[in-house]
Amino acid sequence: SCRICVITLAEAHPLLQSGKTIKSINYQISANCSRLQNKVSGKSKRGAQFLTELAPLCRISSSDGEEYTVYSCIRGRLIEVNENILSNPALLQEKPSTEGYIAVVLPKFEESKSITQGLLTQKEYEEVLLKRCSSSS
């Protein structure tokens, strides 16, 4: 594995479920931090912003006024953000797992194996969603 992690919206994300329209996507996390200013160079990915699991990647606003913060969910270096979704936010909904990705993160080499082992299979993910839906109804 090349260890890269592509961050996308989950199938069960409210933006993909409720038929909402995405108004805007903002990579400006705070007054001093914009994910768009991430400048990566070289084999060792110098200059990449380091992210923790709880680091916000972007904020997505929908036409009904709701705002969703998308978090990294993984520790590593921010390799790139998808600037294409800024001019075409519908990509997030139309092609969430391909052209509508949010960012690419490279975890530390020594942590990549434990991250991979902690991921859910598609079947496990579907079971979690079933439990969540049955407990909320």
Distance, CA of 43 to CA of 10 (rounded, Å): 30
| pLDDT of residue 1 exceeding 80 | no
Number of H helices, E strands in the chain: 5, 9
Sorted by sequence, the CB contacts under 8 Å of residue 53 that are 6+ apart come out as 71, 72, 73, 74, 75
Domain spans of the chain? 5-135
Please report, as a single letter, which amino acid is at residue 129.
L
> What is the average pLDDT across 31-39?
89
CATH fold, domain 5-135, is OB fold (Dihydrolipoamide Acetyltransferase, E2P) (2.40.50)
Neighbouring residues of 22: CB distance < 8 A, sequence distance ≥ 6: 15, 60, 61, 62, 63, 89, 90, 92, 93
Using alpha carbons, list the distances in angstroms from residue 130 to 11, 13, 121, 124.
Answer: 13, 14, 14, 10
User: CA 110 to CA 53: how far, in whole Å?
Assistant: 16
Average pLDDT rounded to a whole number, residues 17-33: 88
pLDDT of residue 47 exceeding 90, the answer is no
10 pLDDT tier (thresholds 50, 70, 90): confident
The pair phi, psi for residue 2, each rounded to 5°, is: -85, 0
Span 53-73, pLDDT tens digits: 999 999 999 988 899 999 998
Condensed to tens digits (0 to 9), the pLDDT of residues 93-115 reads 899 889 999 999 998 877 777 77
